[in-house]
Amino acid sequence: MKILFLNSIEIKEKIVIFYMDSNNKVTQRYIRVLQVHDNYILAYCYYREKVRTFRLDNILSAGPSRKRVGA
Q: Residue 66 has what pLDDT? A: 78
Identify whether 38 is part of a domain. yes
CA angle 43, 40, 18 (to 5 degrees): 65
The three-state secondary structure class of 42 is strand
DSSP H or E segment with residue 21: none
Residue ranges for the chain with pLDDT beneath 70: 67-71
Count of structural domains, the chain:
1
DSSP three-state, residue 65 = coil
Check residue 58 and give its pLDDT: 97
pLDDT of residue 61: 96
**Residue 52 contacts residue 68 (beta carbons within 8 Å):** no
Residue 67 pLDDT: 64
Identify whether 70 is part of a domain.
Answer: no
Residue 71: per-residue pLDDT:
52
**What's the predicted TM-score (pTM) here?**
0.86
> In CATH, what number is assigned to the domain containing residue 22?
2.30.30
User: What pLDDT, on the 0 to 100 scale, is given for residue 30?
Assistant: 96
